[in-house]
Structure 1
Amino acid sequence: MAADVVSERRVVLPSAADTTELGRDIGTRLGPGDLVVLAGPLGAGKTCLAAGIGEGLGVEGPITSPTFVIAREHPPLPEPLGGRGVVLVHVDAYRLGVGTGDPDPRDVAAQLDDLDLDTDLTRAAVVVEWGEGVAEHLASEHLLVRLDRSGADETREAHLQGPARLVAP
């Protein structure tokens, strides 16, 4: 896949439904070989965004946090039901030490490599929660989505950075 122009965009997400909708929009643009890295604190909406990505890809769900299994594969739905033929591999790097202190990024990257995600990228779109700083090496280009919460309400802000074809509204 040829490298694309890097682009950035910020999106205000007043509700969880808006976060899911952003994910759905991103998912409609993903194909095999695409890597999405999700970053943000606990409760920022990473899994909600991943669920939307799964909807946009048209994969079997439900898309839930793979924290305890680390990686979960979602096959595509049949085409008449909205499937696009792209598998989703949803990874949560939190238990690899990313969210639990100050891990050595090389150790986390080695553990991600043990999951053979680079092989998955030949046939799937891969979404890695808690992947910033450790998962980017899995592909020549990636979409980074940083999510933040502001205030006590549900409002979040997403900062997208990556290939223009994945960032553009």
Structure 2
Amino acid sequence: MTECVKKVSLVSRSPEDTVQIGRHLGTLLRPGSVVALYGDLGAGKTVLVKGIADGLGLKATIHSPTFTLIHEHPGPVPLYHVDLYRIDEADVDSLGLDEYLESEGVVVIEWAEKIKALLPTDRLDIELRFVDESSREIIVSTSSNSSFPIVEEISRSAYARS
């Protein structure tokens, strides 16, 4: 059986665009959503999370949880911001990530490639690629039927590639 993947490519020309894209995504996410982020250092993953938090209606200051690993941001729909940059796959169990993934919050994971086998199939995958110093290509994809509407909606964004 062939896996169906829905995908859209967006163009961000500035950090402000990336925040706007994240804000739009945040308005579409629901309790229990999982977002896996991929991209090199400095690609804008945390900038995107700032927008997601804003779209969720959170007034939190968002910083990368590189050293604390997980930041919890309370709200009507809590945001759990996870950064696995400094963690080895063997240490993932000690994080209690399962509890977050099964919660009614939105879980956003930077450096998700480190735990790809542990991620739920119902998730959004977002890859941020450098185009130049300030521009990024942001690829949003899913193979989950329940997340198809999110990708469909974001494909109507002004940032979508035509």
Taking the aligned partners of 2:140 and 2:26, their CA distance within structure 1 comes to 14
The question of 1:120 aligning with 2:100 is answered: yes
Q: Matched residue of 2:54: which SS? A: helix
Q: Matched residue of 1:146: which SS? A: strand
- Aligned-pair Cα RMSD in Å: 1.6
Q: Is the 8 A contact 1:148 1:158 kept in 2?
A: yes
Q: Is the 8 A contact 1:37 1:145 kept in 2?
A: yes
Post-superposition offset of 1:135: 4.2
Post-superposition offset of 1:148: 0.8
Q: 1:112 to 1:167 in 2, by over 3 A?
A: farther
Q: Is the 8 A contact 1:33 1:125 kept in 2?
A: yes
The question of 1:147 aligning with 2:128 is answered: yes
Aligned to 2:159: none
Post-superposition offset of 1:115: 1.9
Q: Is the 8 A contact 1:117 1:138 kept in 2?
A: no
Aligned to 2:136: 156
Post-superposition offset of 1:136: 5.5
Taking the aligned partners of 2:113 and 2:119, their CA distance within structure 1 comes to 12
Q: Which runs of 5+ in 2 are unaligned?
A: 155-162
What amino acid is aligned across from residue 164 of structure 1 in structure 2?
F
After TM superposition, the score normalised by the length of structure 1 is 0.79
Q: How many pairs are equivalent?
A: 145
Taking the aligned partners of 1:130 and 1:44, their CA distance within structure 2 comes to 11
| Mapping for residues 39-54 of structure 1, pairs under 5 Å | 39-54=38-53
Could you give the per-residue CA deviations for residues 84-141 of structure 1, whole angstroms, max 9, x where no partner exists? Answer: x1000000000104xxxxxxxxxx1x53333222222322110000112514623231
Taking the aligned partners of 1:66 and 1:133, their CA distance within structure 2 comes to 16
Q: Matched residue of 2:112: which SS? A: coil
Aligned to 2:62: 63
Post-superposition offset of 1:27: 0.8
